[in-house]
C-alpha cells in the first residue's frame, strides 16, 4: 500500500514491494588516468520506512552509491528504481544531507531551511511555520534569524537536517552527516535522528564510517569491501526500539559491533 502498511487480513510478515530497488548496479567513472571502477554488481532492496546504513572503507564507493540513488549520477550497469519507477534524474520525493553542511553564509538559518522549498518552487509562506517548528524540535528555537557562521558545527548540521525534512520527503539520504562532529554532539544527533525516524518512518539510506553508529541506528547494516565497492554482507540488527545510548552497552549491541568489525578484519580492512 502507498503508506507502507499491510492491508487488513494480509500477512504482516509478507514481503513488501521495496521502496528503493538497486539491481546489479555498477559504476565506472571516466578519469584522465583511465576508467575508475567504483561499484561492481551491487544489489540491494530497501523496504518502505526501513533504516539502512552502509559502512565500508574510504574510497569503496559509498558516496557513489548514494549519488546513484539520488539520481545525481547514472549507473554504468544495472537498474535503479525508487517507488517502483526506474530512476531518471533526481526523484522529487527525496532529500540529501551531506557531511559538509551546505548552508549559505549570507542567509539566516530560517532562510537556509526554506531554501529547499524555494528550489522546488513551493510557496515559502506555507512552509515557514513548519520550518520554525522543525528548528524548535532540533533545539534551534531562537536561532532562526542567526547566520550559519554564528552556529557550531553540530547546530549547522541540525539545520541541514531540518532543511532536508522540510518538504517531508519519503526518502532521506545521508552521507556521513555526523563525520565531522565531536563525539558528544554526534551522540546527541544519533538520538535525535533515531527519534525523528521512529516518528516519521522515512526510508533512510545512511552512510557512515562508524560501525557503532550504523548498529545503533539501523534495521540493517550493509557492509562494503575494499574498492571497487561490492556488498560483502548485510546484517539485520534485531535490537529493540527505541534505542537509548545506554543500549550501546548491552551484550547484544557489543556483539553486533564485534561481528561486523571481525568481518572487516578478516577482509584486511581493519586491524583486530
Ligand atoms: N567524479 C569522479 N570521477 C572519477 N572518479 C571518481 C569520481 N567520484 C568518485 N570517484 C572514485 O570512485 C571511487 C569511490 O569513491 P566514493 O564513492 O567517493 O567512495 P567513498 O564515499 O566510499 O569514500 C574512488 O576511487 C574515487 O576516487
Ligand atoms: Mg564518501
Axis crossing angle, helix 109-119 with helix 153-166, rounded to the nearest 10: 30
Ligand 1 centroid – CA 39 distance (Å)? 9
16-93+172-272: CATH number = 3.40.50.300
Ligand 1 binding pocket mutation candidate from 59, 62, 76, 214 (most atoms within 8 A of CB): 59
pLDDT 10s digits, 103-149: 999 999 999 999 989 988 889 999 999 999 999 999 999 999 999 99
Ligand 1 centroid – CA 207 distance (Å)? 14
Find out whether the beta carbon of 29 lies less than 6 Å from any atom of ligand 1: yes
Which ligand ends up closest to the CA of 59? Answer: 1
The Cα–Cα gap between 133 and 141 comes to: 8
Find out whether the beta carbon of 153 lies less than 6 Å from any atom of ligand 1: no
Residue 238 burial class via C-beta count within 10 angstroms: exposed 0-12, middle 13-18, buried 19 and up: exposed
Find out whether the beta carbon of 99 lies less than 6 Å from any atom of ligand 1: no
pTM (predicted TM-score): 0.92
Which ligand ends up closest to the CA of 62? Answer: 1
Cell matching residue 51: 533504516
pLDDT by residue for the chain (272 residues), tens digit each? 344 444 444 444 556 799 999 999 999 999 999 999 999 999 999 999 999 999 999 999 999 999 999 999 999 999 999 999 999 888 888 999 998 888 999 999 999 999 989 988 889 999 999 999 999 999 999 999 999 999 999 999 999 999 999 999 999 999 999 999 999 999 999 999 999 999 999 999 999 999 999 999 999 999 999 988 899 999 999 999 999 999 999 999 999 999 999 999 999 998 87
Q: Are 16 and 201 in contact (CB under 8 A)?
A: no
pLDDT 10s digits, 87-98: 988 888 899 999
Ligand 1 centroid – CA 54 distance (Å)? 15
Which ligand ends up closest to the CA of 38? Answer: 1
Cell matching residue 85: 519507477
Please give the mean pLDDT across all residues of the chain. 92
Domain borders along the chain are: 16-93+172-272, 102-169
Residues 6+ apart with CB under 8 A from 225: 56, 57, 60, 231, 232, 267, 269
Residue 175: closest CA among 97, 238, 239, 120? 97
Ligand 2 centroid – CA 40 distance (Å)? 16
Ligand 1 centroid – CA 64 distance (Å)? 6
Q: What is the DSSP letter of 89?
A: S
Three-class SS of residue 233? Answer: strand
Amino acid at each position: 500500500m502507498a503508506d507502507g502498511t499491510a492491508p487488513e487480513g494480509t500477512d504482516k510478515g509478507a514481503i513488501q514491494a521495496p521502496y528503493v530497488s538497486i539491481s546489479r548496479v555498477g559504476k565506472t567513472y571516466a578519469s584522465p588516468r583511465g576508467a575508475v571502477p567504483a561499484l561492481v554488481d551491487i544489489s540491494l532492496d530497501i523496504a518502505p520506512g526501513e533504516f539502512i546504513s552502509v559502512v565500508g572503507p574510504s574510497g569503496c564507493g559509498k558516496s557513489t552509491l548514494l549519488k546513484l540513488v539520488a539520481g545525481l549520477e547514472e549507473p554504468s550497469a544495472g537498474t535503479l528504481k525508487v517507488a517502483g519507477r526506474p530512476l531518471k534524474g533526481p526523484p522529487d520525493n527525496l532529500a540529501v544531507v551531506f557531511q559538509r553542511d551546505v548552508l549559505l553564509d549570507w542567509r539566516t538559518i530560517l532562510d537556509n531551511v526554506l531554501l529547499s522549498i524555494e528550489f522546488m518552487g513551493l510557496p515559502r509562506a506555507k512552509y515557514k511555520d513548519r520550518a520554525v517548528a522543525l528548528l524548535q524540535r532540533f533545539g534551534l528555537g531562537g536561532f532562526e534569524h542567526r547566520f550559519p557562521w554564528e552556529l557550531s558545527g553540530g547546530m549547522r548540521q541540525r539545520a541541514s537536517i531540518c532543511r532536508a525534512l522540510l518538504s517531508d520527503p519519503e526518502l532521506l539520504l545521508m552521507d556521513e552527516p555526523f563525520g565531522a562532529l565531536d563525539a558528544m554532539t554526534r551522540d546527541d544527533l544519533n538520538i535525535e535522528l533515531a527519534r525523528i525516524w521512529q516518528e516519521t518512518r522515512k526510508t533512510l539510506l545512511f552512510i557512515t564510517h562508524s560501525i557503532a553508529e550504523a548498529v545503533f541506528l539501523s534495521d540493517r547494516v550493509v557492509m562494503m569491501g575494499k574498492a571497487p565497492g561490492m556488498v560483502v554482507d548485510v546484517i539485520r540488527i534485531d535490537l529493540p526500539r527505541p534505542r537509548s545510548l545506554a543500549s550501546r552497552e548491552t551484550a547484544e549491541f557489543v556483539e553486533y559491533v564485534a561481528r561486523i568489525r571481525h568481518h572487516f578484519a578478516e577482509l584486511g580492512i581493519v586491524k583486530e
